[in-house]
Structure 1
Amino acid sequence: MARILRTLGLSAALGAGAAALAAHTASDWKAEGEPRPPLPVGVVLPAVVRTPAFPLKDARTLFTEAEIAQARENVARYPAAQAVAAELKKEADYWAAWSDEALRDVVTSAEVPRAFDCSTEGCPVHGKKIFEVTQSTYPWIIDPKQPFKVTCPIGGESYPSNDYGKFYRSGFKDRSDFNGPYVDDGRGWVSPTGERYWFVAHANHWTWYWHPQADHHALIKAAESLGRTYLLTGEEVYAHKAAVLLARIAEVYPAMDYESQSRYGEILAAQHHERYVGKVVNAIWESYLVAQFAECYDAIWPTIDGDAALQKLYGKNGRDLRALIDANLLEEGIDAYYSKKTRGNYGMHQRSLLVLATVRQHGDNARYVRDVLDRPDGTMYLGLRFALYNLIWQDGQPYESPDYNATWISNLTAVAGLLPKLGRTAVEMPRLRRLLDAPLDLIAVGNFTPTIGDTGTVYGGIAEENTAAYQWGYRTYREPRFARFLAGTGAGGAAGFKTFESLLHPVIASPARGGSGGRVMPPQASRLISGYGVSLLNNAADTIGLSLYHGLHVTHFHYDRLNLELFAEGQPLLPDLGYPDGMNEMVPGLYAWSINTISHNTVTVDAAKAPGNVAGVVELQADGGWARAVAVSAPGTYPQCDVYRRTTVMVDADATHSYLVDVFDVRGGRQHDYSLHGPPGTFALAGGSWTEPARGTLAGEDVAVGEIYDDPVLGAKGYKGGYADYMGSGFQYLTHVQRLRAGEAVLDYTHEKSAAACVRIRLLAGDGQDVILAQARVSPVKWPQVLHYAIMRNKPAGPGARAVTSRFVSVIEPFESTPSITAAERIELPNGVGVKVQRANGETDVILVGEPGTRKQMSVGEHCLTSDARVVVGTLTKKLGWTRLWLADGTSAQMDGGPRVVARGWTGEVMAVDVKTGDVRVRGTDASQQVGVADLAGRIVSFGAGRRLANTVVGAKRAGGDVVLTLKDDVRLGLGQADGIAGKRVRMKTNFIRANAYRGATLMSAEGKHVGQVRAAGDDWFELAEAPAADWLGADTELWVVGMGAGDACEVPATGAWVRAER
């Protein structure tokens, strides 16, 4: 299952609680039937000419005359628009300079294989160094004027040694020069080691397709630039050259079958008996390729009947050429949608289908639109009305990594823009707007998207600016926040012409308050991304922030639950590693290191990748102005652990300086490894006595770097399969291992991009915990930068050792030049742990962390702090004693036996939920301990037993004896169509890939009628607490999955604060 999902561009959801999720995603993703065998070399496929199934296209339909006129006006007036047009024209001129015959011939027939990778081993001469030198997954130099050749970016030598073009033109018969050192007949050259290098297929693939990491002239760019430049200039040479390409593409397109004509199709069929489908390229990228060809056709369509040179070249009149393209390209592309040969991440193929439908004009458009919007079953093909709730979290985040989620935004906003051309709209769907809000909520300290899963690099940044999507969003919703984001990314006002799509519309006025001070986003308050599972804490100025990931893994994830990232001094200072070396199972370092648990800032249990897939529960998230805390419990991460909880406290030393106290509790298993790492750059030991660096790796002195030592199958000599099933430690990538002999473990990091971006990590080890330093590359192949890992290990000696209980504590301080903390001390307490932090200004902070509702007391000199809260932060000075105090998730705190600082929260019982407005009516309890209703806004509220579901209150008002809460994130977690009832079980036509997140939720009708509380859920069923009594409930009834329901507990954890007037 792992290899099916990740190798197809998705990633697997493995482990406890994920079986239904993975099984359904795979079944909907995969093409049905047996794999097709590879097309033998030398077989020539017959030409296919389809008869159009519908009346021929009779007008340009994708672009209006008004849009074209607006684009030309913008190009005439604005330098930014001129730059976009010039870039398109530059590419178009490259292709316009080709002769018609050469353009026709550069389009290869289906017999020539395709391969997005040449070999995971790199170059026959320079090996994997080509990935590192270029920092690219696709490093080979491709030139369409040197067809079927790849050139090494290091040595400049080209492969293969034979002239494949001569072999191709001979009908695959002339093998006269198949006697050189690197002969490739299309299905690769095999090295003496047995590695196959697909030179010809790789060159062919990247002649068709383009990627930012394969930035060459390619046919997809030819179609894009020629068609768009024609629209902008009206110069028919561009239309003519585009038509030459499109007619030839239409000739060869029906015979294209990626699974039988590609490297990866052959690999998956041979090794796993799986189908890897597509047309020219794999199904994911095919959705973009065929849509681009369709767009180009629409742009130049009016010129075909009058293009005598085109008609002479192909021996067809204009009508016949149009019929060829209508049937062989557009209708073939539409059929590919239904056969899953154009199928990508959600939104890709839906957009592709609507582009094809719009351009084809007279197809079965009602069916296509109905399937895109209203289909109640499937996952990748689920109708948008359902997908907006089942595949997109209640906070607006899709279920993939931020980089991949960005493709959802660009594609689904494009879908929304296409629908009116086909007689429907989607903008009235509120979750669509939330899709645009969500990425902005996720931005930390104004400039960084947390690097969750397959996203970005170790240097951080915004996952995707998505200029076209946010411009559409602003024009549609007039949301000022979208305009500010555009301004922050340099796309505001007359500078907003960044894409071709932007040319089609009037300029968007830049807001008076956009990005400033080098920020993309204005300062935001600490916040919870409740469905996706990210807690963001930051100081008031939003210049120092952390993110804590605790969500459900679906696709493109890493095994990184409770991973911590820190952003300060303008850089990621506890960075994630970013996107791995590749995205297919043949890359061992991807699975053994990059996505493994140990490479992240979290805890590894029993020297193994975390197998469980149950989202964490936000037990506390609160902000006290000068201190704030988050506590998340995620014991489902490792099934052997009943405690797996991280509590992180951020304390402000002043308005511009803050630090973290990080406490990680684990119980279960036999070995715990708490791991942190700083950024690439310089590293220094500021404390402690350490052993000399050992040979070998953390896996052992005799274990080599990258050696699969803990899986006898994958590590066997001569193993040639994939590595998706690796669940080992990843310790074999950590080298230069040192151990603390004495003293304090104090580690200093300075970011390589800024000498003023530093972080100091103090590891406050408990009894029996070993402190280890090690080094690792960011990634085994592409990214050679070295990271220094700080690890605290708890592994009791002896074979009979019981399950381990660990509490790891560290103090993490970002700084510019000189740290403000002079000392930090860990103090063990009954029911918790205390940390004393001394600062250079003479102040001492006292931090208590432990179980809520239990007494914790800590003394510092003559002073004493006592509380039952989960988190307490107090500050002492020599002159005044206690000067400030904040507590969270408790009843009170007492300083030196004096008056108590009382905490106030809010509790109640849910009386009703309005599924249309999202309002939750709650009846409060114990009014004497409640915070005022007016003070609930901005607080995190939890619903259900064990605080299972958290949300943010944005408004509260009294309604009789109750309080009506308005929440930030949607109360609706899913939407489905019922298929019948059997006792307590409701069968569903709709599949729910997040079923394991629905336990405790409530089923309600579209009108808000109560159906029942969910006790358990599966891929296509709900088990309710009681058999539903509703006689109206039957097949085809649409049901909402609602996060809370009548009778659920509601709680805002109590907080309290005190500040001395004299400071």
Structure 2
Amino acid sequence: MAEHLEEKFQPILNLSEAEILRQIPTRSGLYFIACPNCDNGTQENQISWTIDRPDELFCKFCGIRYPNDKFPDDQILQVENPVGEIQEYPYWEDESGYRHFFRAKGWYLQREYFASAAKELARLYAVTREREYAHRSALILHRFAQVYPGYCVHFDFPFKQKILYPGKESFPYPVPDFRAAKWSWWAYMDIPENLLQAYEIVQDSGELDEGMRNCIENDLFKASVSFARSHPPGLSNMDPTLLRALIVAGRVLKEPEYIHYAVDWIGRLVQRQFFADGAWREGAVSYHNQTVGGLNQLIELLASYRDPEGYVHPETGEHLDCPDLTQRLPILEKAQQIPDLLRYPNGRVVALHDTWAREQRAPTESSSSMLLPAMGHARLGRGTGEDQIQTHLHFSGGYGHQHADLLAITLFSRGCERLADIGYTHTRHRHWAITTLSHNTVTVDGQDQHPGNENDPSDGNLLLYVPGDELFQAIESSGERAYLGLVDAYRRQLLLIGISPQEAYAVDLFHVAGGHRHEYVLAGDANHDGRLTHDLPTTTYGETLLPEGVSARLPTGESVPGDAEGHNLGYAFIRQVRQTSLSGPWTATFHSEGERPGGVRVHGFGTPGDQLFTGDAPSIRRAGEDDGELDRFTMPILVHRREGETPLSSLFATVLEPHGERPLIDRVEHLPVDAEGAIALRISWEEGTDYLLCSADGETVLQVEDMELRGRIGFVRQRQDNIERMILIGGTLLRKGEMELRGEGLLSGNILAVRRRASGDAADGFLVDSKLPTGDQLKGLFAIVHFGDGFTRGCEIVGVAEEEGEALLLLKDDPGFAIESDATSHHCFFPGRSWDGQNTFEIATVSTWQG
């Protein structure tokens, strides 16, 4: 280690002390400064700096050096800093009036470099005990302590005009919390942790006298802590970053109050911002990992911390002695499991919301169904090894870093994600990545879905979940809040049906009522080259999916707005569009060039007047977060459009058939059904025929050919005229010919009380007013709780017991809510809502017959 560090920081060792002091910036640095000479890179992060040429900067992409005559920073912003000095910030202004502070970018990078060097020189001293390393580390520390008071608080954000606040201004600054920073570009990073770590090592080296130590501790460290704590606790995914530095500060400066403040903050963060199933509030796996990973670091830091002898916190009365936060905050155990639940068989992450699709874990050995009922996400899965298939349905609300993606699906088969969700990007195509049209869902009236927030949630409602087996699995959710006031129904049912140990297909039923235009979208593989094929006659529609004659201006940066003359800008990203009229059954196939050959054949059904649009859309992922590479990579996309008079009602009934060298399904037929919203399908394949009957309400009797369904879902598999399997969900009768399958239908009732182990009860469960079969007859089924405020939650049943003459529905896990003595209810975890009204439950029973 010593040799590596010596080599890395040899340039500093070669500098004179006077040169080191000269190079430590006396003015605040700015991070997000773009290169105006090229379009590469992302998020105004193209420019770099090296110690070898300390008075210059360069673009990592086009190579231009700054300062230069082409972009002369010959204009000056003068600011009076917090100690009363007038500081000058040179800048170049483009034709729009946007300022580029090239030299301030250099100051930022210099500050980063020398702060890192102080830490690493201290580590070298700890290993070698050579005083010269401690001396130079101490020199840097003391110099930062001297200049820090004069740093201006600033606002530094991509594609936004930079602001340097005069020293006379103070909290609250007119920008969002933590966006006013003094040390870094974000106040979450404003306590210089690397300098604290350096000081911890060299403070007793003999290289710092008492005056220098006081200056470092008070003018730098305690001042930075005070500044960061002037922001109200954010309870965000960045909190662990700030709290880690605060804990280190408390340890190094022997300030136990800092530690207690951090412990209290951690408790509030965990208890208030994780769903009952352990998922982080934002639903994005990347931010879940960031938050949980940061919390793990804090837990480890605190595990060895002891308060000074005799210290008791004046408010809490607590004395910390190697606290174990995992015992205090048991939800963290669930949180640790989320990344493994939200991964595809190849180990790649399920890229929900702002999740980086490149994140990778170990591959899975097998796939099965899975539900995150509090966050709102389900997986249907089957198979082992290379034969694993997964399809996901997302029905989470928007609570930060969300996309407009309610009821979106993805599909993984034969080693890769064949129908994709792009995930996170900071490129100029971010607008495309978050728009509804880029997700595998339905867009209504050309509008993006309502993204949601805590005050106006967009959560979907779980309606049905049957984890099933290798043959049959089902999930259904509704999402009317995505188009509140525009639709009366917005509901998706997804089923995964096995054909053999290696093969399966998905049935996708999407019902929309309301508005005048519905567009069912499927997008292909975002990781590989792909194409979409079909044998339908097509004509050219246009360069984009925008209406004829409408032009668009696409964003030039992540947070730079675009324009499409009042139309949804998302339609401008679908290029080279062709169209065809639909009436009756149609098929199209998504091909992708993954490691294993394969595709997904789509069996759709059109009604007279429907249009099918196909084209190419940005796939983004393979561009490697480089704006200059975005146009090289696309993925195929199809849009099934249906238009009519308001209120339009549509049922998009689609079979998704993942396949290898050749498809297995011969034919998908829609059988005539009289009941509104109901569907009956006959799916024929080489060795057999499947029949699927689905009722919209579970109450209407469906009569189709020689079949009858009284219930939610009926499934029949037939081989060579012999019935092999029957499945009845939420019903009392499924009949085909002379074969009948009886069931218990739907079990429902009122929830009288909630039992939680976390509150000291003997079990997790509900006390209900219904007669339920005792024992384990209902084990493995899911009770759908309908809260009094209109939201729902799925709870896995493990049995039924009796308590004081009432049925106690025993649950596998914490129900995550409580009913108070005044009959009001509240969530015990995020989102923490409270409500009035009766809570009810519904259980769809499952009956099966196998010949």
User: 1:913: Cα distance to partner?
Assistant: 2.5
User: 1:849: Cα distance to partner?
Assistant: 2.8
Cα gap change, 1:966 to 1:409, in 2 (>3 Å): farther
Greater RCO (CA < 8 Å, at least 6 residues apart): 1
Which has the higher mean CA deviation after the structures are superposed, 398-407 or 903-912?
903-912
Among 416, 420, 442, the alignment partner of 2:342 is: 442
Confirm or deny: 8 A CA contact 2:711 2:730 kept in the other structure.
yes
User: 1:221: Cα distance to partner?
Assistant: 4.3
Q: Could you tell me which residue of structure 2 aligns to residue 636 of structure 1?
A: 481
Q: Could you tell me which residue of structure 1 aligns to residue 444 of structure 2?
A: 605
User: 1:413: Cα distance to partner?
Assistant: 2.0
Confirm or deny: 8 A CA contact 1:548 1:562 kept in the other structure.
yes
**CA displacement 1:422-451 (0-9 Å, x = unmatched):** 543222221232222333333343623321
Among 766, 769, 775, the alignment partner of 2:607 is: 766
Among 3, 7, 32, the alignment partner of 1:116 is: 32
Cα gap change, 1:1049 to 1:263, in 2 (>3 Å): closer
- Is 1:792 aligned to 2:640, yes or no? yes
Q: Could you tell me which residue of structure 1 aligns to residue 229 of structure 2?
A: 338
Q: Could you tell me which residue of structure 2 aligns to residue 996 of structure 1?
A: none
User: 1:197: Cα distance to partner?
Assistant: 3.5
Instruction: Within 5 Å, give how 1:1000-1015 maps onto structure 2.
Output: 1002-1004=818-820, 1010-1014=821-825
Instruction: Within 5 Å, give how 1:158-557 maps onto structure 2.
Output: 158-161=65-68, 186-192=89-95, 194-209=97-112, 218-219=113-114, 221-223=116-118, 225-228=120-123, 230-231=125-126, 238-259=133-154, 266-267=161-162, 274=175, 276-284=179-187, 286-287=189-190, 290-303=192-205, 305=206, 307=207, 317-340=208-231, 345-361=238-254, 363=255, 365-366=256-257, 368-374=258-264, 383-400=265-282, 401-420=284-303, 421-423=305-307, 424=320, 425=323, 426-428=325-327, 429-445=329-345, 447-457=347-357, 460-462=358-360, 488=362, 519=363, 521-523=364-366, 525-541=368-384, 543-557=388-402
**CA displacement 1:846-865 (0-9 Å, x = unmatched):** 22233132346475xxx733
Confirm or deny: 8 A CA contact 2:494 2:507 kept in the other structure.
yes
Instruction: Within 5 Å, give how 1:1019-1034 maps onto structure 2.
Output: 1025=836
Q: Distance in 2 between matches of 1:721 and 1:757?
A: 38
Among 784, 789, 796, the alignment partner of 1:942 is: 784
Q: Could you tell me which residue of structure 2 aligns to residue 888 of structure 1?
A: 729
User: 1:108: Cα distance to partner?
Assistant: 1.1
Q: Distance in 1 between matches of 2:682 and 2:43?
A: 46
Cα gap change, 1:258 to 1:1016, in 2 (>3 Å): same
- Aligned residue for 2:54, secondary structure, equals coil
- Is 1:676 aligned to 2:522, yes or no? yes
Cα gap change, 1:687 to 1:707, in 2 (>3 Å): same
Q: Distance in 2 between matches of 1:630 and 1:549?
A: 10
- Aligned residue for 1:254, secondary structure, equals helix
- Aligned residue for 2:295, secondary structure, equals helix
Q: Distance in 1 between matches of 2:764 and 2:437?
A: 42
TM-score by length of 2: 0.82
Unaligned 5+ runs, structure 2: 80-87, 166-172, 308-319, 453-457, 621-626
Which letter does structure 1 place at the counterpart of 2:338? A
Instruction: Within 5 Å, give how 1:61-72 maps onto structure 2.
Output: none
- Is 1:151 aligned to 2:58, yes or no? yes
Which letter does structure 1 place at the counterpart of 2:743? V
- Aligned residue for 2:239, secondary structure, equals coil
User: 1:616: Cα distance to partner?
Assistant: 0.8
- Is 1:822 aligned to 2:656, yes or no? no
Q: Could you tell me which residue of structure 1 aligns to residue 455 of structure 2?
A: none
Confirm or deny: 8 A CA contact 2:534 2:589 kept in the other structure.
no
**CA displacement 1:613-641 (0-9 Å, x = unmatched):** 32111100112211111100110110111
| Structure with the largest fraction of strand | 2
- Aligned residue for 1:274, secondary structure, equals coil
- Is 1:1058 aligned to 2:846, yes or no? no
Measured on the aligned residues, the alpha-carbon RMSD in Å equals 4.0
Which letter does structure 2 place at the counterpart of 1:764? F
Confirm or deny: 8 A CA contact 1:528 1:952 kept in the other structure.
no
- Aligned residue for 2:245, secondary structure, equals helix
User: 1:238: Cα distance to partner?
Assistant: 4.6
User: 1:651: Cα distance to partner?
Assistant: 0.8
Q: Distance in 1 between matches of 2:581 and 2:421?
A: 29
- Aligned residue for 1:689, secondary structure, equals coil
**CA displacement 1:817-854 (0-9 Å, x = unmatched):** 22222332334523311232222x33222222331323
Cα gap change, 1:873 to 1:224, in 2 (>3 Å): farther
**CA displacement 1:314-363 (0-9 Å, x = unmatched):** xxx522222222112210121022222997633332333222212211x3
- Aligned residue for 1:415, secondary structure, equals helix
Confirm or deny: 8 A CA contact 1:137 1:581 kept in the other structure.
no
**CA displacement 1:754-790 (0-9 Å, x = unmatched):** 2425322333223432211121113476533101111
Confirm or deny: 8 A CA contact 1:951 1:967 kept in the other structure.
no
Which letter does structure 2 place at the counterpart of 1:794? R
Q: Distance in 2 between matches of 1:262 and 1:1024?
A: 38
User: 1:166: Cα distance to partner?
Assistant: 13
Which has the higher mean CA deviation after the structures are superposed, 604-613 or 686-695?
686-695
TM-score by length of 1: 0.67
Q: Distance in 1 between matches of 2:715 and 2:9?
A: 63
Q: Could you tell me which residue of structure 1 aligns to residue 550 of structure 2?
A: 703
Q: Distance in 2 between matches of 1:544 and 1:283?
A: 42
- Is 1:105 aligned to 2:22, yes or no? yes
User: 1:610: Cα distance to partner?
Assistant: 1.1
- Aligned residue for 1:451, secondary structure, equals coil
- Alignment length (residue pairs): 784
User: 1:223: Cα distance to partner?
Assistant: 4.8
Q: Distance in 2 between matches of 1:726 and 1:319?
A: 65
Q: Could you tell me which residue of structure 2 aligns to residue 989 of structure 1?
A: none
Which letter does structure 1 place at the counterpart of 2:841? C
User: 1:93: Cα distance to partner?
Assistant: 5.7
Which letter does structure 2 place at the counterpart of 1:1012? A
| Structure with the largest fraction of helix | 1
Q: Distance in 2 between matches of 1:727 and 1:187?
A: 40
Cα gap change, 1:360 to 1:942, in 2 (>3 Å): same
- Is 1:666 aligned to 2:512, yes or no? yes
Confirm or deny: 8 A CA contact 1:141 1:153 kept in the other structure.
yes
- Aligned residue for 2:104, secondary structure, equals helix
User: 1:739: Cα distance to partner?
Assistant: 0.9
Q: Distance in 2 between matches of 1:302 and 1:165?
A: 47
Cα gap change, 1:652 to 1:431, in 2 (>3 Å): same
Q: Distance in 2 between matches of 1:223 and 1:763?
A: 64
Q: Distance in 1 between matches of 2:566 and 2:340?
A: 35
Q: Distance in 2 between matches of 1:620 and 1:167?
A: 65
Cα gap change, 1:160 to 1:843, in 2 (>3 Å): farther
User: 1:903: Cα distance to partner?
Assistant: 5.1
Q: Distance in 2 between matches of 1:723 and 1:297?
A: 52
Which has the higher mean CA deviation after the structures are superposed, 728-737 or 89-98?
89-98
Instruction: Within 5 Å, give how 1:984-995 maps onto structure 2.
Output: none
